[in-house]
Structure 1
Amino acid sequence: MLISADSSTRLIGRTAELAVLNGAVERLRGGTGTVVWVEGEPGIGKSAVVAAAAQIGREWGCQASVGVADQLAHPPLLGVFLDCLEIGRRSADPRRARIAAFLSDRRATLDLADATRTAAAVEMVVALVDELCAAGPTMLVVDDVQWADDASLDVCRRLVPVAAHLPLLLVMSYRPGAHGSTVRRLRDVTRRRDVVRVPLGPLPPDAVRDLLAALVGVPPGDGLVTLASQAVGNPLFLQELVGALVREDLLDISTRAEVRESRTGVVPRSLAAALDDRLSFVPAGTIELMRASALLGGEFAVTELAALLGRTAIDLCADLHEAVTAGILVEAGPRMRFRHPLLRQALLDGMPAALRAALHLDVARALEAARVEPQRVAQHLLTSGVVGDRWARQWLADVAPVLAAWAPHLAAELLRREVDHDPGDEHERSGLTMNLARVLLATGDHEEAAKRVRQALGAIVDPGDRGHLHWILARALFSGGHNDAAVANLHRALRADDLPDPWRARLLASLAMFQRAGVGDLTAADATARGALRTAAVAGDAFATAYALTGLWAGHSVRRQHRLALKSVEQAIETLGTGVDHVDLMAFVLHGRIFSLQNLSRWTDAEAALRDARDVLRAANRIDDTTSGVTAAVLLFWLGRWDDALAELNAVAQSTSSATYRGLREGGPGWLRHGVAALIAGHRGERGRAAAHLRAGFDRPLVTVADRENIDFLLVARSVAAEQDGNLRAALDHLNDLLERRPGEMTLTHQWLPRFVRLALAADDRSAAEAGVRACLTEAAAEQVPARATAAADRCRGLYHADAAAIRSAVAHYRASGVPVELAGTLEDLAVVLAERDDSAPARAALDEAIDLYDGFGAAWDVRRAEARLRSRGIRRGVRGSRAKRAGHGWDALTPTERKVATLVAAGRSTPEIAQSLFLTRRTAQTHISRILAKLDLRSRVEIAGVVLRQAPGGVLDS
């Protein structure tokens, strides 16, 4: 008689579902990945189906890994993937060991750089999966994904859109009814057309009969079938019901299995009763051991259980064996797992609530003694509900920065609970409040962070702690849109005579940033930054020194003293050194360096600086930094590499992090992302896409000077849309805000003023055109050395006065510095001026060169506009044959970067290797791969390799 389900029994009635998974595994063997989403209620057989799929994958030679998420209020960071991919510090694979070491690093930094470490860990896991796929077909199974932590769900979300481009089969099982925004986002992603959905419903009647027969060893009688209908086709319910009947001797089994009618009144009528019945047959000692195990979660290590009970692992062997025999536990690699969550719940429900709370506190202590990661210790502290325990408070104070980096919401909940409890020790409470405020700042809860800091400031005694709290308060206020309050708070803090020099320097540097970025008080900002620099030198504080230098960089940039600005950021880079303790500030400084090099028309150096910045970010595990992608996109826009710019922006759009400079300067990357994308779409005539980005970009209010200086691309894109509608007046009006910079504003207005002058002349508004020329001449006069603004001024003067010599001067500058977008527009203007002077041959030559450049950008609308402007002046393009249309599909449609990526794919490089080789982010590299597959109408990297080999001379690749 069989009363426990083996693998074949559990799969009864699932032939169709298994056929779908078989097909996915078969495609995987051919190099084509798939995402399979298995959905069904508890006990319906999801785990059995996905486990069978994994076994099929292994039998067919694929790398198959299975992870089961645990049902905890705050599951461990990346827990399901650490188990699935066997990531541990003792792993023989250095990649896995490196991730484990990174996750267990307990360093804390003052600049809150650790707030981004979770995103870095996600990137490392995604990169590991990519590398595994490069080695061969890979299958990942994530069972019970609804219980996974946010970071694990983010890994899944990141893998879903790229699985089809890798030899990756991602199988996720899901229980409906789960809550949480991340799970909802994951479900939104899995609604893609290329995701295979496998819903598991109740077993049909024939399958129920087959399962009953398999469980009892003979065909079921009508009474048993009728009773089994209570299970509503759920295999687990059926198994538990049959098990209870057998144990209670309520079945007559001969040629058929039938319920004893005289005993039907005592048959368990629910699964809960069946579970209780199963546990009643287990020795009391084993049950007590299982109750302790249940506290550790749905899956646990035997060493953890031994540490909790103060016993050796060998002492537990007999009871664990008994639990396995009884079907309570199953082996899960090196760990043990409850066969079903309801079994664990039944054990927990058997304990009084007060006892459970005390035991969870004991578990926390035992896990900390065993040096388990802080997240798991924190989960048990939270579950215990115990507040004010001396050991717990001290532990929380010690590990709060690390816990905040990996599980900020869990940290906030624990800290909030302790702070709201009256500890009787104001100093301790202040320390906890400081940690809570830091966590709230990192999670974006700016209002509560400010409230908590204000509550603590009145009781704080230590001057350094007081300075730290004022620092956090200022950042919370500024990030929440209260710049005046942030400045007032800093002034109040700086009046304290006992403020330590390091904190005085940091607060001064922060004040300088807010004075400029908030209200544009450049004079005060410069004076404050220089005071911060002097104080930082006395204190020997590298962070404050670099932060103050960055404030001076901003002032120099506003004044167009670009050489001095460059010198300031290079000094800041040197001050911060090669460490990663202040990676957010370093990222900001590196982006400032790129900005200054562009302003000096040193475009080649700016590209090199971008590569340097990405090397630094890669060393800090921040290669997919959001702001890095936006900075790269702006640079690539001016260099005419619009497809590459869009790839960068698409990669940024995939990021789950908020696109900010994390308290240093808020919001800018978000406006720039939509602005650059909208402007490229407008130039290419993709009006629907441009409109969508314009709506998203203008969906946020502008509050500070820093906000305004990041919307110029959006303003110009809106102007382009109006011009395409034939409304020149509106197109001109949309640019009025660029005529004059507000105090302290950094906007590079000169790069858009030639467009303003052109539109004004086209609208026959000479006074507006003259205002545009004056504004550009003012910008040029402010330049410390003649550079971009000077060339733009030549172009504006040339347009206004129809002076070909002035425009030729601008053409020479743009040609020499290598900035094709500005060169193309200036050549078009030159052609117009020459045509008006009846110099038709040089006008046609300038037009031809401009259109060739436009074609290279894919700027279809610019081509049409240029041809129309010259046609109205009697000039048509030279006889050069019909212009080749930009290919939409096939090898010719690939951009130069995409061809490089394709060649590296064919050479067997993983996505991280491709990214590092081409100085891209990993997401940007994957975006290029996705576009290659779409343009070549392919499904896998293997197929890309085939196409590349056919393109290579002699079939030989130069890798």
Structure 2
Amino acid sequence: MPELAELWDAVQRLRVGTGGVVWIEGEPGIGKSSLVAAAAHVGRELGCQVSEGVADQLAHPPLLGVLLDCLEIRPRSTDPHRARIAEFLTDRRSVLDLADAGHAAAAVDMVVALVDELCTAGPMMLLVDDVQWADDASIDVCRRLASVAAYLPLLLVLSYRPGTHRSTARRLRDIAVRRDVVRVPLGPLAPESVRDLLAALVGVPPGGGLVRLAAQAVGNPLFLRELVESLVREDLLDIGAQAEVRDSVVGVVPRSLAAALEGRLSSVPAGTVELMRTAALLGGEFAVTELAALLGRPAIDFSADLQEAVTAGILVEAGPRMRFRHPLLRQALYDGVPAALRAALHLDVARALESTSVEPQRVAQHLLASGVVGDRWARRWLAEAGPVLAGWAPHLAAELLRREVDHDPGDEDVRVGLCMNLARVLIDGGEHEEAAQRVRQTLGLVVDPDDRGQLHWMLARALFSGGHNTAAVAHLHRALARADLPDAWRARLLASLAMFQRAGSGDLAAADATARDALRMAAVAGDAFATAYALTGLWASHSVRRQHRLALRSAEGAIEALGFVADHVDLRAFALHGRIFSLQNLSRWTDAEAALREARDFLRAANRMDDTTAGVTAAVLLFWLGRWDDALAELDAVAQDTSTSTYRGLRDGGPGRLWHGVSALIAGHRGERVRAAAHLRAGFDRPVVTVADRENLDFLLVARSLAAEQDGDLRMALDHLGALLDRRPGEMTLTHQWLPRFVRLALAVDDRSAAEAGVHACLAEAAAEQVPARAAASADRCRGLRSGDPATIRSAVAHYRASGVPVELAGTLEDLAVVLAERGDTAQARVALHEASDLYGGFGATWDIRRAEARLRSRGVRRGVRGTRANRSGHGWAALTPTERKVAMLVAAGRSTSDIAQNLFLTRRTTQTHISRILAKLGMRSRVEIAGAALREGLGGVVDR
């Protein structure tokens, strides 16, 4: 069988350390599950770790449900890692939505990390049958693992049935269309194979009538098996030299698989069938305790019927749970219950499950299936469990909450709670227009002042995130005018207003005054969140004014106000990233790196190990430090994240623009013009509405200018940069870091007025700095270019050399070489050119080397034979960056991806990106090969972080 041969080959590759993905696809009953089972058997026979599971056919499957079963993640697991994940998933704390929105993503990260850890112990097979029924988080895990399986000793085997929900199918197709995936399509059996299967089932060759009847199964093995079993069971086959159906069979044998499956139950005691019908309400898999709770009987009372179901092949054991042998068998039983009775029973199931303290998703699934609206118990449960349910299953929560809110009002207190939960879910899901509408409706019903304060907060956030900043500000003013607003909410609304005033319209004076009012009110209320939020607003204002010492003090004050607990994760992350930004502006690059490590330690402790925005922050820092390969590794890791890059409620969309901008600029400097163009298209394909949108465009603008320069259109390159000079009120954009480039281009096209404008803009930035730092050095460079004074440029060189920022140092040395050459000092010009070129070569800036040589050649200076070229090796150990060498050493030491990430202060995804690149550069396919090659190279010892 060719399909088995492909699986055998994949498992054999796994044994030597090379993983991969096998995608099995076909209709129900075609043999997917049998092939998955065969793969698992082969894996066990060859000594691999094997974890397998079957996704359940539910409208809203539980969060990570199939993978929890597959990987045996239980609260009482003896493995601390599994127990920690189970504890995290069963935590029912109801926390502020700003801090809770990332829990599902954190759970995904934890499961991926567990698989990574298991792979360090030996080759592993992870098999998921019927993956089309898996929840979104489980699919995210599969997508993440599919992208790295080839670099781990991991074989991911997924079976898929076409025809599922469009969005699920689209996300799964991301896996199926990968070039490195082994696809195993299963189609109908050929006529000769159908005859062979019939013969194997009845023991003799099939007759013509049986073959014609079997044609109704359209080559489906399960259909054929059920058909033959029903014929044998009801004595409708004459078996002699061949097997033939009796004449009376036509019209008697069931024509649908569901009917055939019902026929399978004819020999099972009636009590067992009824028990199975009840169990079918619980899903494809269930715990005996859940069935006992639903029946209101101890398990001992129905244990005989359960055993009978196992003997009859209706149920099979699934660890501590029971599972229907085939989903369609369960469907046949389920469909046998009248629809009206099913609805009532699903409500009973929901009540029973709630009493057993299962996760709220399970209860919610049965509430949805019941179709019952307005039930007092259901509304009370949904009001209480809504915040937790929203964190784990937002789509399910929204559907249930909408249904209840739009029904009969009922108890007003309960209705208010439902409305607030619905608005929170809609905001987190990006449904800002509906969220605003729901909050407005609820505000007229609310009596409690705290609830009213929270609703005002939610409405402002929905309006701002939906692009209606003016409306958000106006609403906050109206809310703050109310006399019954509690102090804590007044402080939070003031802090939010300050943020919107600056980020939306750039009204810096108003934002400052509002933030200080928020600080005073927060002190009165003793509210740490409001204090920290107000301080981040002041951090932004100070940064705009280039008061970087004050900005740093504000960011650190916000961090201190929040303390060391994991609450308010997004706000604390925002403050930590602000601290990194301020340290860069003060030219404290070493401290900025330390601050990045601190931020990552916090995010790891908060189960946000692969925070998207942290990756963008790291990439910007690494760009200026000349560690472009590391920056790209961070950005590639960000690209794996399916969530939007945003600080919820604080600043939307900015990280996404920076992601494309930094990627495009590095690609442009390296001469990778196609890649740069793709990022430019994606980066500019977003509307620019607010000041916050503009202040994240600078890398994109510079990358577009560089592309024009490479086309030879220096005037267009200058015009693209000209947008940076038009810094709007309240805009934070650090124009000084790009102005030397602007002045250089202006002089190249002989536009002295533009050059003067660039110099004056840079001098203004420098004058605003509390202490001379980056802007002061940029101003020296600009003045030196304009006047042709090498001494002024040397001052900038000295600053960049002392602070350790090679990208700006290289550009300034190039400018110095040009000025020296124009003065006739060719010897010193050549020295500066050599150093600049060596630095450019270090981070792969091949375009900059060509440009620098062309500028100097036109002035009579050539690098000569002493000059080194940026011929960076593309393959072998010499091609590895310093970070990649450290990662390779830790891989060779048998460390897991999570361990390596923690050791080197990286995210897991960034670490995996480094491993992928190491394998590509070394021409290898597995970690095992890296370890062997590292030993041969003599690499070892302690890795210096």
Task: Give the TM-score taking structure 1 as reference length.
Answer: 0.97
1:318 to 287, 304, 311: 304
- Residues 776 and 217 of structure 1: CA distance in aligned 2, closer, same or farther (over 3 Å): same
> How far did residue 881 of structure 1 move?
5.9
Structure 2 residue corresponding to 1:920, chosen from 901, 906, 924 = 906
Structure 2 residue aligned with 1:187: 173
The equivalent residue for 1:11 is: none
Alignment pair present for 1:406 and 2:392:
yes
Matches for 1:462-501 after TM superposition, within 5 Å? 462-501=448-487
Report the Cα distance in structure 2 between the residues aligned to 1:270 and 1:779, rounded to whole angstroms.
Answer: 77
Alignment of 1:700-779 (within 5 A): 700-779=686-765
Correspondences of 1:377-456 after superposition (within 5 Å)? 377-456=363-442
Taking only the aligned residue pairs, the percentage that are identical comes to 81
> What is the identity, as a one-letter code, of the residue corresponding to 1:211?
L
Return the alpha-carbon distance in structure 2 between the equivalents of residues 37 and 875 of structure 1.
60
Distance 1:957 1:916, change over 3 A: closer
Structure 2 partner of 1:160 = 146
Cα distance in structure 2, aligned partners of 1:740 and 1:803: 27
- Determine if contact 1:915/1:921 at 8 Å carries over to the other structure: yes
SS in 2 for 1:735: helix
- Residue 320 of structure 1: how far off its partner (Å): 1.3
Shift in alpha-carbon separation, 1:58–1:281, aligned structure 2, 3 A? same
Residue 279 of structure 1, CA deviation: 2.5
The answer to whether the aligner puts 1:510 opposite 2:496 as a matched pair is yes
Q: Is contact 1:949–1:956 with CA below 8 Å preserved after alignment? A: no
Structure 2 counterpart of 1:79: 65
Matches of 1:266 and 1:418 in 2, distance apart?
46
Per the alignment, residue 822 of structure 2 pairs with 836
Answer whether contact 1:740 1:775 (CA < 8 A) is retained: no
Residue 656 of structure 2 corresponds to 670
Partner of residue 20, structure 1: 6
Matched, 1:853 2:821: no
Q: 1:560 aligns with which of 534, 541, 546?
A: 546
Report whether the alignment pairs 1:947 with 2:933. Answer: yes
What residue is the counterpart of 1:788 in the other structure? 774
**Displacement of 1:884:** 5.6
When the two chains are superposed, the root-mean-square deviation of aligned CA atoms in Å is 1.3
SS of residue paired to 2:651: coil
Deviation at 1:641, TM superposition (A): 0.3
Of 50, 67, 91, the residue aligned with 1:105 is 91
Is residue 267 of structure 1 aligned with residue 247 of structure 2? no
Q: Which of 776, 798, 805 matches 2:791?
A: 805
1:195 aligned partner, one-letter code: V
1:345 aligns with 2:331: yes
Amino acid at match of 1:387: V
Alignment of 1:128-207 (within 5 A): 128-207=114-193
**Residue among 524, 547, 551 paired with 2:510:** 524
Deviation readout 1:389-413 (Å, 9 max, x if unpaired): 1111111111111111110111111
Residues 891-945 of structure 1: per-residue CA shift (max 9 Å, x gap):
1111111111111111101111111111111000000011111111111000111
State how far apart, in whole Å, the 2-side matches of 1:88 and 1:947 are: 38
What are the Cα deviations for residues 65-101 of structure 1, in whole angstroms up to 9, with x where unaligned?
1110000000010011001001110111111111011
Distance in 1 (CA, whole Å) between partners of 2:395 and 2:607 is 22
Measured in 1, the distance between the counterparts of 2:211 and 2:318 equals 33
Aligned partners of 2:543 and 2:551 also within 8 Å: yes
* CA-CA distance at 1:106 after TM superposition: 1.1
* Alignment-derived partner of residue 697 in structure 1: 683
Q: Distance in 2 between matches of 1:440 and 1:78?
A: 22
SS at match of 2:391: helix
What is the SS of the residue equivalent to 2:157? strand
Question: Structure 1, residues 107-130: CA drift from partner, whole Å, max 9, x if none?
Answer: 122242211100000000000010
Q: Secondary structure at the match of 2:102?
A: helix
Residue identity in the other structure for 1:842: Q
Q: Does the 8 Å CA contact 1:949/1:957 hold for their aligned counterparts?
A: no
1:936 alignment partner in structure 2: 922
Asked whether the equivalents of residues 53 and 70 of structure 2 are also in contact (C-alpha less than 8 Å), the reply is: yes
Matches within 5 A, 1:204-219: 204-219=190-205
Residues 1:538 and 1:104: Cα distance change in structure 2 (over 3 Å) = same
- How far apart, CA to CA, are the structure 1 residues paired with 2:591 and 2:51? 45
Distance 1:126 1:785 in 2: 45
**Alignment-derived partner of residue 615 in structure 2:** 629
The offset of 1:229, in angstroms, is 1.9
Indicate if the aligned counterparts of 2:837 and 2:869 stay in contact, CA closer than 8 A: no
Separation in 2, partners of 1:36, 1:629:
30
Q: Contact 2:891 / 2:931 at 8 angstroms: preserved in 1?
A: yes
Aligned residue for 2:731, secondary structure, equals coil
Report if the CA contact (8 A) 2:736-2:779 is conserved. yes
Shift of 1:426: 2.3
Matched residue, 1:12: none
Q: Indicate the residue corresponding to 1:457 in structure 2.
A: 443
Alpha-carbon distance in structure 2 between the residues aligned to 1:265 and 1:554? 78
**In 1: Cα distance, 2:95 partner to 2:943 partner:** 44
Distance 2:134 2:774 in 1: 51
**Residue identity matched to 1:899:** R
Alignment pair present for 1:69 and 2:55 = yes
**TM (normalized to structure 2)?**
0.99
Distance in 2 (CA, whole Å) between partners of 1:569 and 1:531 is 18
- In structure 2, how many angstroms separate the alpha carbons of the residues matched to 1:212 and 1:267? 16
Partner of 1:7: none
Q: CA deviation at 1:313?
A: 1.9
Match of 1:3 in 2: none
Give the distance between the partners of 1:682 and 1:263, measured in 2 at CA. Answer: 74
Deviation at 1:188, TM superposition (A): 2.6
CA contact (8 A) 1:795 1:806 kept: yes
Q: How far off its partner does 1:330 sit?
A: 2.0
Deviation at residue 644 of structure 1 after TM alignment: 0.4
What's the CA shift for 1:599? 0.4
Task: Name the structure 2 match of 1:9.
Answer: none
Partner amino acid, structure 1, of 2:361:
Q
Following superposition, the deviation at residue 269 of structure 1 comes to 2.9
Quote the Cα distance in structure 1 between the aligned partners of 2:130 and 2:162: 10
Matches within 5 A, 1:531-570: 531-570=517-556
Q: Does 1:658 align with 2:644?
A: yes
Matched with 2:589 is: 603
Shift of 1:850: 0.3
**Partner Cα distance (1:21, 1:484) in 2:** 59
Three-state SS of the structure 1 residue aligned to 2:24 is: strand
Equivalence for 2:852: 866
| Secondary structure of 1:690's aligned partner | helix
Give the whole-Å Cα distance in 2 for the aligned partners of 1:444 and 1:307.
38
Letter in 1 for 2:636: N
Give 2:11's aligned amino acid.
V
Which of the residues 209, 218, 225 maps onto 1:232? 218
- Aligned counterparts of 1:311 and 1:685: Cα–Cα separation in 2: 73
Partner of 2:603: 617
**Equivalent position SS for 1:112:** helix
CA contact (8 A) 2:374 2:407 kept: yes
Q: In the alignment, which of 344, 354, 358 is matched to residue 344 of structure 2?
A: 358
Question: How has the CA–CA distance of structure 1 residues 136 and 641 changed in structure 2, closer, same or farther, with 3 Å as cutoff?
Answer: same
Q: Which amino acid aligns with 1:194?
A: D
Mapped contact 2:837–2:868 kept (Cα < 8 A): no
**In terms of mean alpha carbon deviation, does 263-272 or 31-40 score higher?**
263-272
Q: How many residue pairs were aligned?
A: 944
Q: Which runs of 5+ in 1 are unaligned?
A: 1-14
Q: Distance in 2 between matches of 1:263 and 1:472?
A: 66
> Once the 2 structures are TM-superposed, how far is the Cα of residue 667 of structure 1 from its aligned partner?
0.8
Instruction: Give the deviation of 1:182 after TM superposition.
Output: 3.8
CA deviations over 1:175-197 (Å, ceiling 9, x no partner): 01112324312213321221000
Deviations along 1:761-801, one digit per CA (max 9) or x if unpaired, are 00000010000000000000000111000000000000000
Gaps of 5+ in 2: none
Paired with 1:186 and 1:401, the residues of 2 have a C-alpha distance of: 28
| Deviation per residue, 1:329-370 (Å, 9 max, x gap) | 222222211122222222222222221111111111111111
Question: What residue identity is the alignment partner of 1:746?
Answer: M
Provide the C-alpha distance between the structure 2 equivalents of 1:878 and 1:254, rounded to a whole number of angstroms.
95
